Amino acid sequence: MRPNSTLKTAIMRGHEILAQKDVRDNSYYYLNNAHGDVVGLADVIGNVVNSYKYDAFGNIVEAKEQIPNRFRYAREQFDPITGQYYLRARFYNPVVGRFTQEDTYRGDGLNLYSYVQNNPVKYIDPSGYSSIACSGKSNPYEEFNALKTPEERYAYLMNKVETMDVSS
């Protein structure tokens, strides 16, 4: 951290984004769909505090937020000022379904601004350089919602977390 700065949120990562902790030490766990989109955040009791819906290209169709969250479509960081997602190598604009900078790798086709071979349902691009197939895992958001008691929801969330504390 920079001198005289204040930590706002610590992000816990494993193979994917797992949880965030705010300055008041409240933890929230990320809920993703099979595409990898963040569809919700839940508190430690299991209450869903944020929920999101997207179209195929990542435009936010519906967002209900009680706490700040920058990770959205395909688990990527969303910039609310530009309306774009940061994919590490370049920015993606979901309104036009294209990157805003040229791809430096020339091997994936003639269109250097193309996002996931124009097939955002089947692919994601976590690096900004090349697309990969979605995992196709079951939908944990539906699994989570099927649990009735706070104890069941807490146990479910704890089983999803690989202990790793990284602050950002």
Domain extent at residue 144: 9-167
**Range with lowest mean pLDDT among 75-89, 137-151, 153-167:** 153-167
Q: In the predicted model, what is the mean pLDDT of residues 142-151?
A: 62
The answer to whether 73 and 85 have CB atoms below 8 angstroms apart is: yes
Query: Is 1 part of a structural domain of the chain?
Result: no
Q: What is the share, in percent, of the chain residues with pLDDT greater than 70? A: 70
Model confidence at 129, pLDDT cuts 50, 70, 90, reads confident
Query: Is 3 part of a structural domain of the chain?
Result: no
Over 90: is that where the pLDDT of 109 sits? no
More confident residue, 56 or 157: 56
What is the total count of domains within the chain? 1
Q: In the predicted model, what is the mean pLDDT of residues 131-141?
A: 65
The answer to whether 34 and 138 have CB atoms below 8 angstroms apart is: yes
CA 96 to chain centre: 20
pLDDT given for residue 40 in this prediction = 96
Close Cβ partners of 110 (under 8 Å, ≥ 6 residues apart): none
Query: Is 162 part of a structural domain of the chain?
Result: yes
Provide the whole-model pTM: 0.73
